[in-house]
């Protein structure tokens, strides 16, 4: 599916929300603040910011914070999200994100189908028929 220029209010609303969330980022190590926003199926926008940790592996990216905030609020169907990293693309697939809003600084936002950014996600169906193990 080709990229399309976005002129509706939803992408602009997501970009504004992501920019505002970026101001709350905790990035003392990289100094690279990131904000993200996701749109739930009911129209609610949830935001997140990156939260770094001295042990880099414990850091969390903005997109996952936004998605997990939506899930914590009871939303399990998401429709759109701002620019994600690779790991976040997989998390977006889990919760049904269909459209990603790419919003490079100083350029017009563009809507891209998640399938274009993540053509072969590891999906729940890959786990069907596999034995379930109880945690120890």
Say whether 63 is catalytic.
Answer: yes
Q: Any alpha helices (H) in 8-129, and if so which ranges? A: 9-22, 62-72, 86-94, 114-117
Out of 63, 94, 98, 116, pick the active-site residue.
Answer: 63
Residue 22 corresponds to which tokens in the numbers above?
A: 């970026």
Q: Any alpha helices (H) in the chain, and if so which ranges? A: 9-22, 62-72, 86-94, 114-117
How deeply is 113 buried, as exposed, middle or buried, from its count of CB atoms within 10 A (0-12, 13-18, 19+)?
middle
Q: Catalytic residue positions?
A: 63
């Amino acid at each position: 599916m080709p990229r399309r220029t976005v002129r509706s209010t939803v992408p602009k609303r997501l970009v504004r929300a992501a920019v505002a969330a970026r101001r709350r980022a905790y990035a003392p190590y990289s100094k690279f603040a990131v904000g993200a926003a996701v749109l739930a199926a009911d129209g609610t926008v949830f935001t997140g910011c990156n939260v770094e940790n001295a042990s880099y592996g414990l850091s969390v990216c903005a997109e996952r914070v936004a998605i997990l905030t939506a899930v914590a609020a009871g939303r399990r169907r998401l429709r759109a999200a701002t620019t994600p990293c690779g790991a976040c693309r997989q998390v977006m697939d889990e919760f049904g994100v269909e459209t990603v809003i790419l919003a490079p600084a100083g350029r017009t936002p563009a809507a891209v189908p998640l399938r274009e950014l993540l053509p072969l996600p590891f999906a729940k169906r890959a786990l069907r028929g596999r034995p379930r193990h109880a945690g120890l």
